[in-house]
Amino acid sequence: MAPGLITTKKFLTPLIALVVAAFAWSAWTLFPPNLAENQETASRSEKRSRQNTYFGPRNCLAVLPFASGSGRQDQVFLSQGFSAELIKLFSLTAVQVTARSSSFYFSGPGGDPAVIAERLQCANLMTGEFQAYDGQVAVTVRLADARRDRELWSHVFESEMDQVFAIQEQIVGEALDALGIDRPDTATRSMRVDTRAWTHFLQGSHYLAQPVAENFSLAIDAFQSALEIEPNYEAAWIGLAQAWLAYPKSGEAGPDRGEQNSAEKAEEALERALAANPESSLAYGLISYIRHQVDWDWPASLEAARRALELNPGDAGLMSQASLALFTLGQFEEAQDLLAAAVERDPLNLASRLRLGLVQEFAGNYEQSLTSYRQIIGLNSAFPAARAYRARVKIIQGKPESALKESEQEVHPFWRSYSRILALSALDRKEETMSLLDQLIEDSGDEAAFQVAEVLSFQGDVERAFEWFERAYDQKDGGMAEIIGNRFLVNLHDDPRWEVMLDHLGLPLDWAAESH
């Protein structure tokens, strides 16, 4: 079990930080940063008076969700979808564009632009309004430097609906000019499709962005409707693959979807996306995800992730996915650098920040790791596992008493129990740990076999640790991607079964914790 999407008892492996731009059902969606109070109470003058406030690099840009000009709630998917597609187009330029999962936190009217800019660590904010009516479209867009309260560019577009893609391209080009950034040598173009297909695609993306079980089936239907009109619609094939990967049947397609499992259906959709566009970065990113999370083919996952980044180096979700593959293979420094860059583009994605802290722990950068977790707590004190993971680091640092205090402040029951057992084990309070571990196994053994093995290894119970690793393997526990470099597993390294397990998982046998 690895940090990521949260269920009633545990984290599932992060589907996604790739997710960020591509997968909208990440843990951030369920446990967003708690910024509302600060947003309401902090005045613009107070924020501007702070000398050390960071507003990001000069080339940063955050596209906030456009308002619906019609005022109709059933049309919101069009306005938000239009702005989400602008984010994708900007990611293909020299702009450091803020990922959707952070910029879309600030939806709805109101909000101090200077406060929003500070939270997003980006001074340049794009806002707008989108309205479609009777085959026509009206788009109002404004680009401003929120730090200085200065408008950089604004425009009102009115045209027929089939010109919506040209409007997107014009917005990108003129915004780059206003920011003083060169336009790409190759045109950054939206795919011209039938606007009916585009509307179905945006509807499917809207369903997919809301992690409610029934919405995944609605998303599938919407993407398929788009593809009936435009069979070579790359973005719709990508969306369909995402929906199949999220389909809430634990890999089963369900009686109304046929007998083929959902991962296979996702792969087929990705094949069609690549047939439509052999240089589809998001298709390669999703292939990397499948190789990592479903197939456990870590080298193939890294290969696909690197290809995705070659095609679109500015996408935060693709950076995050590549870091996941690197992390599993023990390439911690590169994984840390990539994930830090992803977090810079997606500062409010707390799931990515949590994973950054874990990568920093495995890289041996303990103070950086503690800082990452502290930043999460500052944004949302109730975010699951942040305190538990701080406890892990303090145990490694030889501070078990401090680790125990951290575990007692953990809000999530599973992670509180897990980290408390580790801290008490470090304090050699064996009797207390025995009953707590028995309870953890009873409550979560079917879901958290990896964590049980980790605890047993730390306690020196090598035999039972390997038994639980076998269970973790059988349960397809995502934590099995966190073996290389894990300091809580060092008691297993001298056992011949250790290398057998690494070889079976396709992990590097020559990695040594002492060298990192």
Going by pLDDT thresholds of 50, 70 and 90, the confidence category of residue 211 is confident
Q: For residue 111, give the CATH number of its domain.
A: 3.40.50.10610
What's the gap between Cα 328 and its chain centre?
17
- pLDDT for the residue numbered 512: 55
330 has a pLDDT exceeding 70: yes
Residue 37 has pLDDT above 90, yes or no: no
Choice between 224 and 261, residue whose per-residue pLDDT is larger? 224
Report how far residue 121's alpha carbon sits from residue 50's, in angstroms, rounded to the nearest whole number: 14
User: Strand pairing of 150-160 and 136-145?
Assistant: antiparallel
- Span of 15-19, 373-377, 379-383, 505-509 with lowest mean pLDDT: 15-19
Domain that holds residue 126: 54-179
Q: Report, as an integer, the average pLDDT of 227-239.
A: 97
Output 37 or 325, whichever has higher pLDDT. 325
Phi–psi pair at 66, nearest 5 degrees: -70, 145
Q: Is residue 73 part of a domain?
A: yes
Give yes or no for residue 71 having a pLDDT over 80: no
326: closest CA among 350, 298, 352, 304? 298
d(CA 192, CA 111): 35
In-domain check, residue 401: no
Residue 369 counted as domain residue? no
Q: Give the helix ranges, DSSP H, for 412-487.
A: 413-426, 430-444, 449-459, 462-474
Residue 390 has pLDDT above 70, yes or no: yes
| The pLDDT of residue 286 | 97
Specify if 130 maps to a domain: yes
Comparing 67-76, 142-151, 255-264, 345-354, the range with the smallest average pLDDT is 255-264
pLDDT band, residue 33 (cuts 50/70/90): confident
134 pLDDT band (50/70/90 cuts)? Answer: confident
- Taking each helix axis from N to C end, the angle separating 430-444 and 449-459, rounded to the nearest 10 degrees, works out to 160
pLDDT for 18 equals 34
pLDDT at 237 exceeding the cut of 80: yes
Contact 82, 330 (CB under 8 A): no
Average of per-residue pLDDT across 335-354: 96
* Residue 184 within any structural domain of the chain: no
Of 394 and 189, the one with more pLDDT: 394
- In the structure, what pLDDT confidence band is assigned to residue 32 with cuts at 50, 70 and 90? low
Q: Please tell me whether residue 288 adopts helix, strand or coil conformation.
A: helix
pLDDT digits (tens, 9 = 90+) for 78-106: 999 999 999 999 998 999 999 999 999 88
pLDDT in tens, 466-505: 999 999 999 999 999 999 999 999 999 999 999 999 999 9
Q: What are the backbone dihedrals phi and psi of residue 390, each rounded to the nearest 5 degrees, phi first? A: -65, -40
**Residue 53: per-residue pLDDT:** 74
Work out how many domains the chain is built from and give that number: 1
Distance CA 175, CA 152 (A): 8
- Of the chain, the percentage scoring pLDDT greater than 90 comes to 76
Identify the band that residue 8 occupies on the pLDDT scale cut at 50, 70 and 90.
very low
pLDDT given for residue 300 in this prediction: 97
pLDDT at 124 over 80: yes
> Is the predicted pLDDT of residue 289 greater than 70, yes or no?
yes
Question: Is 285 among the domain residues?
Answer: no
Mean pLDDT of the chain: 87
Residue 260 has pLDDT above 80, yes or no: no
**8: which residues sit within 8 A by CB, 6+ positions away?**
none
Residue 501 lies in a domain: no
Strands 124-133 and 60-63, how do they pair?
A: parallel
pLDDT at 1 over 70: no
Please tell me the predicted confidence (pLDDT) of residue 283: 97
* pLDDT at residue 439, as a whole number: 96
| Side-chain-side CA neighbours of residue 475 (13 Å) | 23
**pLDDT of 9 higher than 80:** no
DSSP 190: P
Give the pLDDT score at 510: 80
**For range 144-165, the mean pLDDT:** 94
How far is Cα 452 from Cα 438, in angstroms, rounded to an integer? 10
Q: Is 335 within the bounds of a domain?
A: no
Does the structure show a pLDDT above 60 at 39?
no
